[in-house]
Amino acid sequence: MHTVVIGGGVVGLSCALALAERGGDVTVCEAGTLGGGSTGRAAGGIRAQFSTPVNVDLSLASVPVWESFEERFGVDVDYRKNGYLFLAREEETAAAFEANVEMQTARGVDSRTLSPAEAREHCPQLRAEAFVAATYCPDDGVADPHSAVQGYSRAVEERGVDVRTRTPVTGLSPPESADGPWRVETPGETLSADYVVNAAGAWARRVGRLAGVELPIAPRRRQATVVEPETAMAESVPLTVDLDRGVYFRPEREGTALVGGHFADADPDVDPDDFSESPDLAWTAEAVERAADAAAYFGPETRVRNGWAGLYAVTPDHHAVVDEARPGFVVAAGFSGHGFQHAPATGECVAELCLDGAASHVDVSALSLERFESDEPGTVEQNVA
């Protein structure tokens, strides 16, 4: 069986590897370079503190791969389990924390609720008086997306996957008969495929339209900045999220810190081929100011070193679409910022959808495209990082 995977980010490469490991003949078509889209601009967070079971389950199924990545792929992804610390200023947010932790712990996550004073034990410069509650999981952490792409790309090539960079897909034609192939048009060749996997991230809606499938996935510009805090931040400080203010920060190497947030969304339908990859000055100043409101690390002597902007592929409920949207056309996109961390489990699920007809590695039925046809709104994943 031949599968064409569209997209050479970490999700597409994971799908290609899982298919190849089960004996599939796989071609990856990437319009640019491997990891050159959203993966290369991801913050690298890996956490199980989500507000819906399916995202928790995707995390729990992916973590073993991240833990054993160097042994399996021969590449160190610098996986650091410093934990995630979520902070609530509002009582409504704190009530949601209680429900989230109850659901998470029932699924095996070592998360817990904390008082603001207890939260300060993990983040010593926290302005605890500004908050009413927190949650913490010591097993959450971060890894390096660039190294992950390196490991996955080496693995797929060793498995015989035909990786074609700078090869955009320009057309898709569905089978003319029940057992016929998909035709995948590229500038140099038209490929035949039993399955097509849309793992195109911020470009997924465009790819979907080529297949006659409308996907509610919009590219959103997200920004991050690296600063030198006024007060040194220990590398043991967790990735800290001020949820009600829409900002997060975490330690980087050599005394720097990463600050990001979603409080200033760009237009919801930016052109993924034409957007600024540098952070806005006004956004940077606001992000550092909001971080300073949460923790005393970021005083007036904080210095901005550099930063970047990238794209999230966002759905209305901030959950991915992992589904066979039409016969032979599988979507693995719209992760809304969770694609990097959920890539290992997603690859296995996609291979099962293509080869077995249903996913069993994780129950991804909640991520079907059909959910957007319902009049009942689903649960929106509330997160910043």
Tell me the pLDDT tens digit for each residue of 110-163. Answer: 999 999 999 999 999 999 999 999 999 999 999 999 999 999 999 999 999 999
What pLDDT sits at residue 362? Answer: 97
Per-residue buried b or exposed e for 235-251, using 16+ beta carbons within 10 Å of the residue's own CB: eebbbbbbbbbbbbbbb
2-63+145-217+316-373 and 84-138+218-311, same CATH topology: no
Sort strands 239-242 and 321-326 into parallel, antiparallel or unpaired. Answer: unpaired
Give the integer Cα–Cα distance in Å for 363 and 381: 17
Both tokens of 96, joined, read 């949601």
Average pLDDT, the chain: 95
pLDDT at position 262: 85
Q: Which helix (H) or strand (E) holds 238?
A: none
Measured between alpha carbons, how far is 39 from 43 in angstroms, rounded to an integer?
A: 9
- Give percent of the chain above pLDDT 90: 91
pLDDT of 237 > 80? The answer is: yes
In degrees rounded to 5, what are phi and psi of residue 335?
-75, -10
Residue for token pair 């319009």: 31
- Mean pLDDT, residues 303-321 taken together: 95
The confidence score (pLDDT) of residue 206 equals 97
Q: In the chain, what are the domain boundaries?
A: 2-63+145-217+316-373, 84-138+218-311
Q: Provide mean pLDDT across the span 211-236.
A: 95
Residue 264 scores a pLDDT above 70: no
Answer whether residue 302 shows pLDDT above 60.
Answer: yes
pTM of the full predicted structure? 0.94
SS3 368: coil
Residue 376: its pLDDT value, please?
61
Q: What mean pLDDT comes out for the span 350-378?
A: 90
- Looking at the structure, give the CATH architecture of the domain made up of residues 2-63+145-217+316-373: 3-Layer(bba) Sandwich (3.50)
The structure tokens listed for 111 are: 């998360």
Give the pLDDT mean for 332-360: 97
Residue 377 has pLDDT above 60, yes or no: no
Question: For residue 323, what pLDDT band results from cuts at 50, 70 and 90?
Answer: very high
Distance CA 343, CA 324 (A): 17
Indicate if the alpha-carbon torsion angle 7, 216, 269, 283 is positive or negative: negative
Say yes or no: domain 84-138+218-311 is CATH 3.40.50.1010.
no
- Please tell me the predicted confidence (pLDDT) of residue 340: 97
CB atoms within 10 A of CB 325: 19
Per-residue pLDDT band at 385 (split at 50, 70, 90): low
3-state SS, residue 355? helix
d(CA 246, CA 73): 35
Higher-pLDDT residue of 41, 334: 334
| Residues contacting residue 148 through CB under 8 Å, at least 6 positions apart | 10, 39, 69, 75, 77, 340, 343
